[in-house]
């Protein structure tokens, strides 16, 4: 069943994977500060990464774009996207939905600058993760107003940069207790309201998982509307965005997720969004890619015809056996 | 601030509230069997119910519709809706999405019969709760196919009964591990694909709560599209559809939910969907209505202007204080 | 690394696995009624089961014990335990903790009868699953009183049957919203208060998983006190007791669980507690055993020494790689 | 029913309530840095706080203890406890359970220093929150070893400072994916193994809530063993430690919690552990205290006799009505 001609996907990672992690307890950081150039070098050391998604502003903020380009080149990496940081202190009460119209404007302008740099770097999309847009308390917000501000901000950006694509990464919660773009379906509704052709979705496997979605189903729904611009993978214990190494908990569902993408002939990058707080970040990236490669090999030996027949009968036992067999055979595929 | 002329809403209940409950452990039932007519009499005893949503087929299945009409009349009740039971043994592997096309047909025809009876009884809508439509295992289903079958079945029903309204009750899970109509946003996407004017949503507060939505926000989103046909209220511990008495856990968010409906001038029935497994069902209904009445009185004393101002600032502390003050004043309002 | 002399464990199942399932929606059952003798025959058909845990009272209730013995013998099965049904209608407001002392007495006497039959059948333990002992609502219960009643009831049973062992199966919730014996640690505290030598724990992998425990850690804690009398395995989506086929979601953690048991030289039966609502029950049991056998083979090729070294360093990446390698090699082991 | 002579409790707060918050996104902090002395001044501004629990090392680390004493005095505050920060970068792979024995020693010594200062400041207990002690991945840890290290470290501290009390604050997870002291029952088992008289528990209401406990029940269980040294209150959406303002979501269960403490005649401080990321910290503390005062007044008008009777019958409807009535009457009590 193995298709010898099948080409392995490109692998990528968010550059923050190689940065300094903090949280509300280890406020001094889980390790020393890491500059953008150092992070690019670390990404290069992984050995099998082709692209990176880079936080913007760079670290330090005055880092020259040419230096970034050089570092990428030196490490055989390409910038697939920029992620404007519209979730730091300035935006902690909201980026696109901040009650202060000036801060909303700042958020939009920061994204717009990132868009300009994405163009220069030859990226595929601008990543939008408005992590501070949402609410924390019952009664705190006028939901209708928040929704409108979110929709309008992204529409404005898409219209100002019609040659670029904007990928919204939805997430159920964190850092806000509840977020505006919280699920695949909500984000699709928002995109429809925007009525622009260049806004789509970055599906983060872990966000989908702990948001009570079946990630493969969410991917299917987004692809049916041609809006799956990118994916991030990682894993968690289903109650929070733990950003663990791919497949460390949900090996079967990760396999199903990539199977669904492959069946739909989705051609994007298989991209890591892991937070190895206490692990070596280069090793953690290698581990994630190792698992993705195992899954890729499993896809080559998967009996897709038998699986489709089992699924037509909704025969869980048969479908699971077919999938498990392929997964366990992947080692030697 | 009290508007003396404000009219209290109508109260309603799902008739199952007064039926026999079972689960997978007390398979002999939490109490004796209850016929449809007995359940109507129990609903009548509550004293403040105006409408009921009735399971179909009736119990016993050959019960004459005229007898149902008589019983309703005798208890000063009106049938607001019928709920066709497309989730019993026949449909346990799916109603609209059953792998067997004949069973899918049976499900559609059962709903269609219920629609005819809803018309005769003068109901407002047919309630669709396709509880067995979804999946249990990773790899079990072709999500695209399930979605298409669900959309087409409801569209067909809506087109066959253009004079009636169909209200889809979404739910994240149970009895299926994952359900097709799982959230407000997904259901809105499905309704949009149906492209018919007479399909909307019944928002169950508890389903929304444990589905990681903020129920008030979900209501807002549905109302913005004019699709909020009905609501059910109850409560839970946020991890499952416990169907507890209204306000027994989430008093504040229940208040917020009704505030949002009221602000949008939503005119529907305040309806109970409680499962008092171990309580007297008439008393449990009275308790739920007592809480709803407290909330209604709180709405009369709520300083909506100050609240709107606090929300414009997204000031959680001020908004919560205003809401809490009204709630605690409700007793004497 | 394979130890050719290692003996495969015995496999078992709860007899309910082969019975009729109901829930609150498919109140007419997911299939036809199944008698105790029919269920034993179904268990026999699986082909690799050695023991069963049998619900008591039998179905029908007046079934002669000799007929049960004959059926077991005919199917090469042994009764490892009896599970008295202290969670049906009579006990729906509590078994050991019912507010009515007469019902509490009934619960104790039903278990005592089951104990007598367990002795006659040569079982290893009486299974105690007081599913209705707990509470549903805030303020409903005097927690101290419930705890005392639970401890005293089990102690009395243990003292009346000092030659038998009683295994408490803890569970976070369902059918009660909160249960008295809800976790490994709580149950160990209760057992300590009982101060009898013959009460232990049945650890259900799925209960542990959705109760926020790490099942392997919970097993370790119980074994450290010599109280792990039995285990049940299955799987779920971590939010509810879905009782899915073993390993269908959490293959890695199931492997870790059995690794922990094996390292501690735990010698009990590997036992199924699956609820194949919509699947063929014999096939579902075979599927579960197939997965357990894969895990058993993986244990034979696991590099336990390297794993122990990685764990001493708390090196997650290395430990996961060692485990994953063994799992993926199991197919050909 | 109001007991005019009842004395209002003392109110307290963790000093971090007034500090700078960070998380993994707003790595530059939700506001500017705050020194220990500034935080004490902010606590003083609240107006109704009597005690604070102070992080150690102070900020800056070389701050003189006399300056802290002066600041406390100037603000009419007393240090009820010190919280040694055994969860910062040095300890990010574990404090008491770090794989490196030297780091374990550092953790113990840091706590020991905090103990000496607690003695000098006249505090009631040393707070132990070993937030980095646990594991993140399946297979990562030898659970038995982690448990032993945790038990031994706390025992050593208790024995070195027999005149002081040590309060363990348990938490299900965060920052570790799973923590060693994760629940009331587990911590009680650990304390029993320590076999020292001066180790107890700080029960954090929110930790208990999202750990699937009923906080009132957990409190009862700890008090039954005389180990409830302190409490922290806050609120959350039951899936994470959101550290919201007291009563903003779970007003009813917060009331039940304090009722249980009061019934048992527990005399400790009612203490805040809120994280007002985006709110004014002084105002947030005032809001939390306002809610606690409302609850205190509600306790004065609660019909405890009728409630006890309802609980003896396990009558949820009656018990809830009694509680709700008191809560709604509290405003005017």
Q: Is C24 on the interface with B (CB under 8 A)?
A: yes
Chain A residues closer than 8 Å to B214 by CB: 135, 138, 143, 178
Quote the pLDDT of residue C2.
46
Overall average pLDDT of the A209-219 stretch: 98
User: What is the rounded CA–CA span in Å between residue C165 and residue C151?
Assistant: 15
Q: Is A47 left (phi over 0), alpha (psi -120 to 50) or beta?
A: left
**Which is it for strands B178-179 and B134-135: parallel, antiparallel or unpaired?**
antiparallel
CA distance D71 to chain B (A): 28
Q: Is B57 on the interface with C (CB under 8 A)?
A: no
Tokens for D9? Answer: 């409790």
User: What is the rounded CA–CA span in Å between residue B28 and residue B26?
Assistant: 5
pLDDT of residue D199 exceeding 70, the answer is yes
Model pLDDT for residues D242-269, shown as the tens digit of each residue = 999 999 999 999 999 999 999 999 999 9
Of B317, B324, B331, the CB nearest to D329: B331
Q: Is A301 on the interface with D (CB under 8 A)?
A: no
Q: Is C240 on the interface with A (CB under 8 A)?
A: no
Please give the residue of chain A at the shortest CA–CA distance from C320. A248
pLDDT of residue D333 exceeding 80, the answer is no
Contact in structure between A281 and A288 (CB atoms under 8 Å): no
Please give the residue of chain C at the shortest CA–CA distance from D321. C139
Of C238, C290, C321, the CB nearest to A238: C238
Please give the residue of chain D at the shortest CA–CA distance from C221. D144
Contact (CB<8Å) C237/A239: no
**Which is it for strands C178-179 and C134-135: parallel, antiparallel or unpaired?**
antiparallel
For D181, list phi and psi in degrees, rounded to 5. -90, 85
Touching subunits of D (3+ CB pairs, under 8 Å) are A, B, C
pLDDT of residue C58 exceeding 50, the answer is yes
- Other beta carbons within 10 angstroms of residue B156's beta carbon come to 16
Q: Whole-number mean pLDDT of chain D?
A: 97
C-alpha distances (whole Å) from C164 to each of C50, C160, C196, D8 are 21, 9, 12, 53
Angle, in degrees to the nearest 10, between helices D316-329 and B281-301: 20
Residues 6 or more apart from B135 whose CB is under 8 A from it? A214, A314, A316, B141, B143, B146, B176, B177, B178
Contact (CB<8Å) B322/A138: no
3-state secondary structure at position D96: coil
3-state secondary structure at position B179: strand
Taking the alpha carbons at both ends of chain C, their separation in whole angstroms is: 11
CA distance B278 to chain D (A): 9
Spell out the domains of chain B, with CATH numbers in brackets.
Answer: 11-280 (3.20.20.150)
pLDDT of residue A293 exceeding 80, the answer is yes
Chain B residues closer than 8 Å to D290 by CB: 321
Of C140, C307, C314, the CB nearest to D99: C314
Quote the pLDDT of residue A333.
61
Model pLDDT for residues C126-156, shown as the tens digit of each residue = 999 999 999 999 999 999 999 999 999 999 9
Contact (CB<8Å) D142/C311: yes
Contact in structure between C50 and C11 (CB atoms under 8 Å): yes
Give A18's Cβ-side CA count (13 Å radius): 26
User: What is the rounded CA–CA span in Å between residue D310 and residue D304?
Assistant: 10
Please give the residue of chain C at the shortest CA–CA distance from D225. C189
Paired residues of B135 in beta bridges: B178
- Other beta carbons within 10 angstroms of residue B225's beta carbon come to 14
Q: Is C182 on the interface with D (CB under 8 A)?
A: yes
Quote the pLDDT of residue C331.
72
Please give the residue of chain B at the shortest CA–CA distance from A224. B144
Q: Whole-number mean pLDDT of chain C?
A: 97
pLDDT of residue A4 exceeding 80, the answer is no
Can you count the helices (H) and strands (E) in chain A?
Answer: 11, 10
Among A234, A235, A241, CA closest to A173: A241
User: What is the rounded CA–CA span in Å between residue A125 and residue A82?
Assistant: 7
C-alpha distances (whole Å) from B298 to each of B7, B236, D8, D54, D294 are 14, 22, 28, 40, 17
Contact (CB<8Å) D240/A240: yes
Overall average pLDDT of the D166-189 stretch: 98
Quote the pLDDT of residue D6.
77
pLDDT of residue D153 exceeding 50, the answer is yes
C-alpha distances (whole Å) from B182 to each of B129, B220, D67, D224, D261 are 11, 17, 58, 43, 40
User: What is the rounded CA–CA span in Å between residue C133 and residue B42?
Assistant: 28
Contact (CB<8Å) C23/B175: yes
Contact (CB<8Å) C139/D322: yes
Tokens for B327? Answer: 């709630």
Structure confidence at residue D58 as a pLDDT band (50, 70, 90): very high
Q: Whole-number mean pLDDT of chain A?
A: 97
Q: Is B300 exposed, middle or buried (0-12, 13-18, 19+ CB in 10 A)?
A: middle
CA distance D217 to chain C (A): 6
C-alpha distances (whole Å) from A223 to each of A200, A207, B161 are 10, 17, 32
The answer, yes or no, to whether the previous bond of C60 is cis (omega within 30 of 0) is: yes
Quote the pLDDT of residue D331.
72
Contact (CB<8Å) C88/B27: yes
Tell which A residues from 267 to 286 touch B, by Cβ distance under 8 Å. none
Please give the residue of chain C at the shortest CA–CA distance from D97. C314
Chain D residues closer than 8 Å to C235 by CB: none
Contact (CB<8Å) C317/A252: no
Please give the residue of chain B at the shortest CA–CA distance from A316. B140
Q: Which of the 8 DSSP states describes residue B244?
A: B
Chain A residues closer than 8 Å to B207 by CB: none
- Other beta carbons within 10 angstroms of residue A182's beta carbon come to 23
Task: Give the residue carrying structure tokens 């501000």.
Answer: A149
Please give the residue of chain B at the shortest CA–CA distance from C276. B136
Q: Is B144 on the interface with C (CB under 8 A)?
A: no
Contact in structure between A51 and A80 (CB atoms under 8 Å): yes
Interface pTM (ipTM) of the complex? Answer: 0.96
Model pLDDT for residues C194-251, shown as the tens digit of each residue = 999 999 999 999 999 999 999 999 999 999 999 999 999 999 999 999 999 999 999 9
Contact (CB<8Å) D278/A87: no
Tell which D residues from 116 to 135 touch C, by Cβ distance under 8 Å. 135
Of D25, D137, D245, the CB nearest to A87: D25
Low-confidence ranges of chain B (pLDDT < 70): 1-5, 332-333
Q: Is C90 on the interface with A (CB under 8 A)?
A: no
């Amino acid at each position: 069943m193995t298709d010898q001609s099948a080409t392995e996907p490109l692998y990528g990672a968010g550059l923050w994977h190689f940065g300094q992690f903090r949280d509300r307890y280890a406020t001094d950081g889980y390790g020393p500060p890491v500059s953008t150039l150092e992070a690019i070098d670390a990404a290069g050391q992984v050995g099998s990464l082709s692209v990176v998604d880079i936080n913007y502003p760079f670290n330090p903020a005055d880092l020259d774009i040419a230096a970034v380009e050089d570092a990428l080149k030196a490490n055989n990496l390409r910038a697939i996207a920029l992620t404007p940081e519209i979730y730091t202190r300035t935006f902690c009460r909201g980026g696109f939905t901040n009650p202060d119209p000036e801060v909303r404007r700042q958020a939009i302008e920061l994204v717009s600058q990132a868009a300009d740099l994405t163009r220069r770097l030859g990226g595929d999309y601008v990543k939008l993760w408005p992590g501070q847009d949402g609410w924390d308390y019952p009664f705190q917000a006028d939901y209708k107003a928040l929704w409108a501000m979110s929709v309008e901000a992204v529409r404005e950006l898409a219209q100002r940069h019609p040659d670029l694509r904007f990928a919204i990464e939805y997430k159920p919660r964190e850092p806000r207790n509840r977020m505006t773009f919280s699920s695949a379906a909500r984000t699709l509704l928002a995109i429809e309201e925007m009525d622009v052709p260049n806004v789509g979705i970055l599906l983060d496997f872990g966000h989908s998982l702990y948001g009570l979605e079946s990630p493969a189903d969410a991917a299917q729904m987004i692809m049916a509307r041609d809006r799956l611009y990118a994916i991030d993978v990682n894993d968690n214990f289903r109650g929070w965005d733990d950003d663990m190494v791919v497949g460390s908990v949900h090996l079967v569902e990760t396999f199903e997720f990539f199977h669904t993408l492959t069946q739909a002939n989705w051609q994007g990058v298989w991209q890591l969004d892991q937070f190895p707080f206490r692990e070596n970040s280069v090793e953690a990236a290698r581990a994630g890619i190792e698992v993705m490669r195992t899954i890729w090999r499993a896809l080559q030996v998967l009996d897709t015809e038998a699986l489709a027949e089992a699924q037509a009968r909704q025969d869980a036992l048969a479908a699971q056996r077919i999938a498990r067999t392929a997964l366990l055979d992947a080692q030697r595929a």
